[in-house]
Structure formats: C-alpha cells, structure tokens
C-alpha cells in the first residue's frame, strides 16, 4: 500500500479536493470555545471585541472561520465593526461579513495583506496546519513517519537529509527534549504564524489553540482525529478531522523583533473581561428580573467552561502586536 509523509497525507485529507474541511462543518464533529458550549461563543466574542477596542482596532479578521460562528456573534455585539472571515469554503449564507476563500493549510490568501487597525484571530487554525510527524527509532535517531490511507504507519527516512528535513532536524534539536519519543515538527506552524503576522501593518494578531512548551512537551505527540463528536484514531482518508497541539514557545520565537505574549485562555479572559464575568449573580435578581438572572447564570456557566483547568481554560493565547 502506497504511503506518504504524515505532512502530505494530512494536507490532502483535510484540504484536498475531497478533503474533510471542504465537505464538513467543524461544528458537526467537535466542540470549541466558539461553538458546542452554550453561551461560550458570545462570551468569547465579548472578549475579542474588548481586545479590539483596547488596541483601537476597527476590524476583526477570523482566520479559519469555519461557518462564521464567531463572526456572527461579533456582529450581534457591534453592528458597525468591520468583519472578515477566511476559510477554504465559500461564504456561509446570510453572514454579514466579508469573506476570503483560502487555499487551506499554511497557505494564506494573496489578498490578505497590508491590514491596518485590525485584530486578526487564528482560532484553532494552527492545530490543523499539517506538520511532519517524527519518531525515534531503536537507536534514538529521528525518522519521518509515513502513513497509508488506512492509517497504517511506518518509519521512513532519517530526519536531516533533504532541504526541509534539515530545517526540521534543527527544529527538533532546539525544541524537543531527550525524553520525547514522537512529535509533530512545529516548523510549518511557525512559518504560517510568521506569515500571518507580517500581513498586519498595525493591530494585533492572536493565535488560540491547545498548546505546549519545551518544558511540558508530550512524550508521544498529540496527533489525533475527531469524527461526529468523538476522538478517533487519525486516519488520513478525509473521513475525520486531523489535529495536533501547537508548540507555542517556538511560535513566540518565529517573529524576530517582536516579543509575543503567551497566556492561558483562563488568564487571558480574566485580563480582558475581568473577574466579574465569573461571579455568581445576586440571588435577589431572580425575584426582580428573572430573565436577567438566568442570562447571568448562563454567562457564568460559559465563563467557567472557557476557563476550566484541564479543559478549554488550558488553551494558549499568543498575542503579537504590530505598529
């Protein structure tokens, strides 16, 4: 059975002509901070709107916008805010926002550039930018992992021979510790992030994703699949989402001259929204304004879900400010 490197198979499985993201809406297969948790999408939109206003941004661009759920939530909060979505599919019907079709993966649209006074949000975009998967052999040597369409893996060539493989080996030497046995090489994500940042003349670029650093890098990688709400074995046949956590420390080093800030989602939301967002409403409100009381309870529940340790609160927010 023919095999490809995981990076190539991953890209074809998600963004090829019959790729997963061309045929499926993300919301049908997994929950995120934007959708799948009651009230969370609106609360996240509140936080991003507050962040945009803090930095005097008049436009928000959502890279990897799915079916526009976050943009729709932002529109309900600010009818005058300029909004744009970027994704591999056509614009969702009825969405009140500009839309740019993307080639998919790390490649961004040519027209997405020279952005001014803009908050660019890459929410769970980098985790689906395909990356090389590598594994140590019995001698401890890094090898590229290849995969068949049915998910069967094998160890391929030694890392460090060809042009990009040399860069990948340098990345592994810098960002992986000796106890790591298998990993996703972060070079393509670093390059995609640096490319996105360079397209903003003034504003803020924000990546939000599950992530790790050299100090807590998983020993056996994080590549996995999702289908119909369940985690499944990663199979590059277009039937499931394929995702892997992001090395956020290497992202921060990928933009020379900038010093990106890295926070957990819990800390970022508390910074932007304040601790009051997570407080229980006054019980007296239930008697005087019962609808408002129920809305406040729902908002608190969404805040709790978005900041939960071991869950969505562990998302990393990486900020880069330009201009």
Please check whether residue 97 is in contact with residue 75, taking contact to mean a CB–CB distance below 8 angstroms. Answer: yes
Do 144 and 229 belong to one domain? Answer: no
What pLDDT score was predicted for residue 98?
98
Structural domain contains residue 287? no
Do 33 and 164 belong to one domain? Answer: no
What pLDDT score was predicted for residue 310?
82
Task: Give the neighbor-by-neighbor strand order of the sheet with 224-227.
Answer: 230-232, 224-227, 241-243
Do 34 and 116 belong to one domain? Answer: yes
CA distance 132 to 188: 8
Return the closest-CA partner of residue 171 out of 134, 125, 140, 216.
Answer: 134
Please check whether residue 150 is in contact with residue 238, taking contact to mean a CB–CB distance below 8 angstroms. Answer: no
- pLDDT tens by residue, the chain, 323 residues: 689 999 999 999 999 999 999 998 776 655 565 655 668 889 999 999 999 999 999 999 999 999 999 999 999 999 999 999 999 999 999 999 999 999 999 999 999 999 999 999 999 999 999 999 999 999 999 999 999 999 999 999 999 865 556 899 999 999 999 999 999 999 999 999 999 999 999 999 999 999 999 999 999 999 999 998 899 999 999 999 999 999 999 998 999 888 899 999 999 999 999 877 777 777 777 778 877 777 777 788 888 888 888 888 889 999 999 98
Structural domain contains residue 38? yes
Do 228 and 318 belong to one domain? Answer: yes
Read off the tokens for 201. Answer: 């003349």
What pLDDT score was predicted for residue 293?
72
What pLDDT score was predicted for residue 188?
97
Return the closest-CA partner of residue 241 out of 255, 219, 223.
Answer: 223
Structural domain contains residue 299? no
Tell me which of 121, 153, 174 is where a domain ends. Answer: 174
Tell me which of 174, 203, 237 is where a domain ends. Answer: 174
CA distance 299 to 47: 12
Do 59 and 93 belong to one domain? Answer: yes
Q: Where are the beta strands (DSSP E) in the chain?
A: 4-5, 59-63, 82-87, 98-101, 118-123, 133-136, 142-147, 153-158, 182-184, 203-209, 211-212, 224-227, 230-232, 241-243, 246-247, 261-264, 316-322
Helix (H, G, I), strand (E, B) or coil at 212: strand
Do 189 and 96 belong to one domain? Answer: yes
Do 29 and 166 belong to one domain? Answer: no
CATH number at residue 114: 3.40.50.12710
What pLDDT score was predicted for residue 2?
82
Structural domain contains residue 298? no
What pLDDT score was predicted for residue 229?
84
Do 19 and 71 belong to one domain? Answer: yes
CA distance 212 to 102: 27
What pLDDT score was predicted for residue 305?
86
Helix (H, G, I), strand (E, B) or coil at 116: coil
Q: How many domains does the chain have?
A: 2
Do 189 and 109 belong to one domain? Answer: yes
Beta pairing, strands 224-227 & 230-232: antiparallel
What pLDDT score was predicted for residue 289?
82
Do 149 and 235 belong to one domain? Answer: no
Do 119 and 161 belong to one domain? Answer: no
Whole domain around residue 150: which residue ranges? Answer: 135-174
């Amino acid at each position: 059975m023919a095999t490809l490197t995981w990076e190539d198979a991953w890209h074809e499985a998600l963004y090829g002509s019959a790729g997963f993201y061309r045929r499926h809406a993300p919301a049908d297969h997994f929950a995120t901070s934007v959708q799948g948790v009651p009230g969370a999408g609106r609360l996240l939109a509140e936080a991003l709107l507050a962040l945009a206003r803090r930095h005097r941004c008049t436009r928000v661009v959502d890279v990897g916008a799915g079916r526009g759920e976050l943009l729709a939530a932002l529109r309900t909060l600010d009818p005058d805010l300029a909004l744009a979505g970027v994704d591999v599919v056509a614009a969702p019907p009825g969405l009140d926002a500009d839309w740019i079709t993307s080639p998919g993966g790390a490649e961004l649209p040519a027209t997405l550039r020279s952005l001014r006074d803009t908050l660019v949000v890459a929410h769970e975009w980098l985790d689906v930018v395909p990356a090389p998967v590598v594994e140590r052999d019995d001698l401890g040597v890094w090898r590229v992992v290849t995969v068949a369409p049915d998910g069967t893996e094998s160890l391929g060539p030694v890392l460090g021979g060809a042009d990009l493989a040399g860069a990948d080996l340098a990345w592994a030497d810098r960002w992986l510790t000796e106890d790591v046995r298998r990993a996703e090489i972060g070079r393509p994500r670093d390059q995609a992030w640096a490319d996105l940042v360079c397209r903003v003349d003034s504003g803020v670029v924000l990546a939000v994703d599950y992530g790790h650093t050299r100090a807590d890098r998983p020993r056996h990688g994080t590549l996995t699949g999702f289908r119909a709400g369940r985690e499944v074995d990663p199979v590059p046949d277009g039937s499931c989402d394929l995702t892997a956590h992001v090395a956020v420390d290497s992202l921060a080093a990928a933009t020379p001259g900038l010093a990106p800030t890295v926070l957990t989602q819990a800390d970022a939301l508390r910074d932007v929204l304040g601790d009051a967002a997570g407080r229980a409403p006054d019980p007296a409100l239930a008697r005087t304004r019962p609808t408002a009381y129920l809305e406040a309870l729902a908002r608190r529940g969404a805040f709790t879900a978005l900041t939960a340790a071991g869950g969505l609160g562990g998302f990393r927010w990486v900020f880069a400010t330009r201009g």
